[in-house]
Chain A
Amino acid sequence: MLNEFLTDLFKGQTGKALSLLESRPVEQPVPPDVITMLRLAILQRDLNFLTCQRLHNLWTRWGRPALKPNATPRKVLLLSDFTADNFVPLVTLFCAAQGVEAEVILPGFDSIEQTVLDPTSSLYRARPDIVILFFSDHWLRRYTGNAALVRHSDLEQAQETLSNLVREIESNSPADILVGNLPGRAYPLPAGTVAVKDRMGWNLAVTRFNDWLARRSSTRVHVVDLAEAVFGAGGRQAVGATNFLRARMAYETSGTLSTARELGSGIAHICGKTHRALVSDWDNTLWGGEVAEVGSFGVECGQESPDALGYYMVQEYLKSLQPLGILLAGISRNDPAVSRIFDDNPEMALKLDDFSSLQIGWNPKSESVARVSKELGFGPEFMVFLDDSLYEIAEVLTSHPYMDAVLAGPDSQSTLARLTRMRLFNAVSLSEEDLKRSSRALKLREQRELQSSFGNIEDFLKAIQVRLNVSPLNVNNLERVVQMFQKTNQFNLTTRRHREDDLKQLEKRGGNVFAFSYEDTFGSQGLISIVNLVPEDDAVFIESWLMSCRVLNRTVEQAIFSFIVQKAKGKRVRGEFIPTEKNGLVRNLYPGLGFRNISRDEPTGTEYWVYDGPGPGSEPPKHFTTIQES
């Protein structure tokens, strides 16, 4: 039944899919495939109000089972200035699909202000874990009036009131507070962006209000982007017009559904129920075509065609998730050699390094997912699976019923739309853990773990067998060398943004460009450092030295320095440090390597350093790296 259900669901035939589930007799305990079907159906966008109601009925008929393991029970209280009754079942449903067992309470219709300021009100009596404050533009207009231009002082008064309300909740209740920001109006006012002395247009006022609100967030106060939710639901069409007249609702149904989803994912987020990894298929998901068939350069991805550009944007989207701590895993039923595509084809937005886990082989994808889970250290319920094959999705979900899934294809634009609109990676705040959980951080952690099993760093570095390969500038590395000159900010002694011509000129004047690539037992890191050496009468001058931070603390810089000393053939080595806003990391590099300071240039702050060679008290720095020149 799962296969048939998924086919209907992902083809947009939600009604047909739900009929399958409705015809199934209820059993207890609820079978895992029913849980999967209910959850995936709820997660689909573009459900209308009646379909959500139908899903709510179905979920209730099955006894409201938890749709994710270890569901977190939370009492959620909604406070709004409009009729929000429809939010109760919807928020409950959207929370359930994300692993939060929410008891949603809507206190009787009082104003927000009355409810919050009365210490005996239902707000405090209910002892909620989470309080949601969300408003319509009518709330703000109570403070700003109805004129097309809003007084600064009135906007400030609204902000101060909201601040006081939040403070009041904070001091009378331990609840987390989610505050919704404001979307635009159903009926636009003219002169929206006008700013004169003490007044401004409505749109400007809303922008300022939302901006102020975002800065009000703290460990207990989070802002939910309802403006984005309404924009995503069609913008003005989603803001309450008919529904406002009929029942004082702030949104039309599309807007209600979208904002309820946004609130649900905000709640899930503060309960730690967020997706932490995207597990993606490769062929026809990240690019068009099959690498094994058409080769690294034959696939569709890049700027050449609309579909290729779409695939490039899919890759860009996956990459854009990294700062949120979302890890990326690659699963492909293929010969492992196809991974070369990321090195071969420069049109890829993603690089092999962007994947924290790779499972390229011929085994079933459900097994690969289990391996990804083991490598990343969390369960499939925290992962989203992206694949263009319904068969593969069904195969994976049969073994991992709590994993979420998105169907890719049939073209890149559909993938992009489906993946982004589901907002599976939504966040209202980022924890330290989220921020640390990037691909690089994880790899380093793995290495640190390995490191801790050794007595000291020396043993560890010996064990991972770091090898540097040095090449002069050549046709193979030219593009990446130039790119690194443009991009490297932190470990960059002089930040000279050389391009091809500059480097060739430097070589003509007798200088050398050395490009270092890195490899250890964990694999290759590719090009990681560049050094430009220019011979002078009595010294060798380090004209540029930049290095990728990802290989720091592995004595790589010491190894490169020993290479420089060797190239100096007994002459002194001269270096410069030109400080920028970003290269504080290397301020102490030269003194650490045994250089002595000659002078400092004011006002640029440029420092001149010289290394006289190893002598008593200045041993050459130790390293555990082999260097091979090619």
Chain B
Amino acid sequence: MSENTLDPNQLEKLTGIFRVLFNAPQLELRDNLTAKDVAGWDSFNHVNLIISIEEEFGLRFSNDEVGSLQNVGHLKHLLASKLASS
């Protein structure tokens, strides 16, 4: 497993969070997916998304990291590196 890639279980878990939070059972996490592609992913729900990822994976993003996320690929990368270093 590369340091910056989520393993399949982790990816499934992350996908599950997105699907529940945005009530989109078929959603797939393409790397270029952004907030404007997903109904309900507004700035407020972005905070809920981060909170949920933090809770489910048992880690913490810094407030800077939360603001700087561009797309799902970026999020996966950040999450993977956090998981690898924890």
Contact = CB atoms under 8 A, between A and B. Distances in A.
Q: Is chain B found bound to chain A in the same assembly?
A: yes
Interface residues of B, number: 14
Contact of A50 (B44, B47, B55): B55
Interface stretch (B4-12, B16-24, B28-36, B75-83): B16-24
Interface string A246-269: 110100010000000000000000
Interface stretch (A52-60, A181-189, A448-456, A605-613): A52-60
Contacts of A54: 20
B50 interface: yes
B51 A253 contact: yes
10 contacts: A50-B20, A50-B52, A53-B23, A60-B23, A83-B44, A242-B51, A242-B63, A246-B47, A247-B44, A253-B51
Interface string B36-74: 000000001001101110011000000100100000000
A244 to B, nearest CB: 11
A50 B52 CA distance: 6
The 3 A-B residue pairs with the shortest CB-CB distance in the complex, in nearest-first order: A247-B47, A57-B23, A54-B20
A246 B55 contact: no
A244 B51 CA distance: 12
Interface residues of A, number: 17
A50 B63 contact: no
A48 interface: yes
Given A57-B23, A246-B63, A49 B47 contact: no
B26 to A, nearest CB: 13
A246 B56 CA distance: 18
Contacts of A57: 20, 23
Contacts of A48: 55
Contact of A246 (B23, B50, B52): B50
B21 A53 contact: yes
A245 B20 CA distance: 25
Interface of A: 48-50, 53-54, 57, 60, 83, 85-86, 242-243, 245-247, 249, 253
Contact of B48 (A49, A60, A245): A49
B19 to A, nearest CB: 9
A253 B21 CA distance: 14
A245 B66 CA distance: 11
- Most-contacted residue by chain A among B20, B21, B56 (CB, 10 A): B20
Contacts of B47: 243, 246-247, 249
A334 to B, nearest CB: 45
Nearest to A252: B51
A53 B20 contact: yes
A243 B54 CA distance: 12
A86 B56 CA distance: 18
Nearest to B16: A50
A49 B44 contact: no
B66 A246 contact: yes
A49 B23 contact: no
A263 B23 CA distance: 25
B21 A50 contact: yes
Contacts of A53: 20-21, 23, 52
B63 A245 contact: yes
A83 B17 CA distance: 22
A57 B22 CA distance: 9
- Most-contacted residue by chain B among A50, A53, A83 (CB, 10 A): A50
- Most-contacted residue by chain A among B48, B50, B56 (CB, 10 A): B48
Nearest to B67: A246
A86 B51 CA distance: 12
- Most-contacted residue by chain B among A54, A60, A242, A245 (CB, 10 A): A242
A48 B20 CA distance: 12
B64 to A, nearest CB: 11
A57 B56 CA distance: 18
A534 to B, nearest CB: 73
A360 B63 CA distance: 60
A49 B63 contact: no
Given A86-B48, A247-B47, A253 B55 contact: yes
Nearest to A48: B55
Contacts of B66: 246
A49 B52 contact: yes
A50 B23 contact: no
Contacts of B63: 242, 245-246
B50 A49 contact: no
Contacts of A247: 44, 47
A173 to B, nearest CB: 28
Given A50-B17, A50-B56, A85-B44, A243 B51 contact: yes
B40 to A, nearest CB: 11
Nearest to A55: B20
Contacts of B51: 49, 242-243, 253
Nearest to B52: A50
A491 to B, nearest CB: 58
B50 to A, nearest CB: 7
Contacts of A253: 51, 55
B68 to A, nearest CB: 13
A317 to B, nearest CB: 31
B84 to A, nearest CB: 23
- Most-contacted residue by chain B among A48, A49, A245 (CB, 10 A): A49
A243 B20 CA distance: 20
Contacts of B21: 50, 53
